[in-house]
A and B are shown apart, each in its own frame.
Chain A
Amino acid sequence: MIRIRVEPAPIDVAAEMALAEAGEAGAVATFTGLVRADDGVETLELEHYPGATQAALHALAEQAMGRWGLHAATVVHRVGPMRAGERIVFVAAAAAHRAAALDACAYLIDRLKTDAPFWKREVRAGVATWVEARQGDEAAAARWSI
């Protein structure tokens, strides 16, 4: 079971967890990304490529399902404006055992960072700046290459 959602509504982790745990899996690993407030960011705006975003996330989830034999994969990404401290992304991987769940969860968030068409704009003191891509993200995604 693959669940992909890209929407402006706040992410309900409890509801997503309940869905991820609903199957026959013995292990569920999750990742939650939050809007960091430590460098003066007041709001974060997330732009995406409608249609292509969902397809890219679905393709990643399918790869994870096949590679780790998952029972379920969930990717929920918020778009639009959000405030510091709010959830921006939630990933869950449900598998028979913990190693597959943990690895698949890390794979999904690492590859999402480099493969899914989202762009962040930070607003500090009323001034908006587009976030630059980080070299470290490419390296983190590359470690999953077979």
Chain B
Amino acid sequence: MELLYFAWVRETVGLGHQQVTPPDHVATVADLLDWLAADSDAHRAAFADRARLRAAVDQQFLPLDASVAGAREVAIFPPVTGG
């Protein structure tokens, strides 16, 4: 699956995107964040405060407890500030 990061999440992770193959126990966006944070200080720092994170699964904006089963693209970002 392709992961995309935007705004300060992108800067803190240090990547705009990355390709990953999560293990079977990763069922939700929150599980994915836990898995990524487990062996990367940068990911752990970016994902430390879950209240400041929003997500999209295959470009659908969903809460962090949403399923990532079969997802091709998951984006992680702060609350939006356009307009």
**A-to-B contact residues, CB < 8 Å:** 33, 46-49, 51-52, 55-56, 77, 88-89, 109, 112-121, 130-134
Is the beta-carbon distance between A117 and B8 smaller than 8 angstroms? no
Which residues from 66 to 83 on chain B have a C-beta closer than 8 Å to any C-beta of chain A? 75, 77-83
Is the beta-carbon distance between B75 and A119 smaller than 8 angstroms? no
Is the beta-carbon distance between B81 and A49 smaller than 8 angstroms? no
**B-to-A contact residues, CB < 8 Å:** 4, 6-8, 56, 59, 61, 75, 77-83
A119-B6, A119-B7, A121-B7 as given contacts; A133 in contact with B81, CB under 8 Å = yes
For residue A121, which residue of chain B has the nearest CB? B7
A47-B7, A49-B6, A119-B6 as given contacts; A133 in contact with B78, CB under 8 Å = yes
For B79, the chain A residues whose CB sits under 8 A away are 132-133
For B81, the chain A residues whose CB sits under 8 A away are 118-120, 130-134
In the complex, A141→B81 CA distance in Å? 13
For A121, the chain B residues whose CB sits under 8 A away are 7
For residue A53, which residue of chain B has the nearest CB? B82
In the complex, A55→B8 CA distance in Å? 23
In the complex, A112→B83 CA distance in Å? 7
In the complex, A124→B20 CA distance in Å? 37
In the complex, A115→B81 CA distance in Å? 9
Closest 5 CB pairs of A and B: A118-B82, A133-B79, A119-B7, A52-B59, A113-B83
For B56, the chain A residues whose CB sits under 8 A away are 49, 52, 117
Is the beta-carbon distance between A119 and B83 smaller than 8 angstroms? no
In the complex, A48→B6 CA distance in Å? 8
Closest chain-A Cβ to B55's Cβ sits at a distance in Å of 11
For residue B7, which residue of chain A has the nearest CB? A119
Q: Which of B59, B75, B82 interacts with A120 by CB under 8 Å?
A: B82
For residue B82, which residue of chain A has the nearest CB? A118
Q: List 18 A-B contacts (CB under 8 A).
A: A33-B83, A49-B4, A49-B6, A49-B77, A51-B59, A77-B83, A89-B82, A109-B83, A112-B82, A113-B83, A114-B80, A115-B61, A116-B80, A116-B82, A120-B82, A130-B8, A130-B81, A132-B81
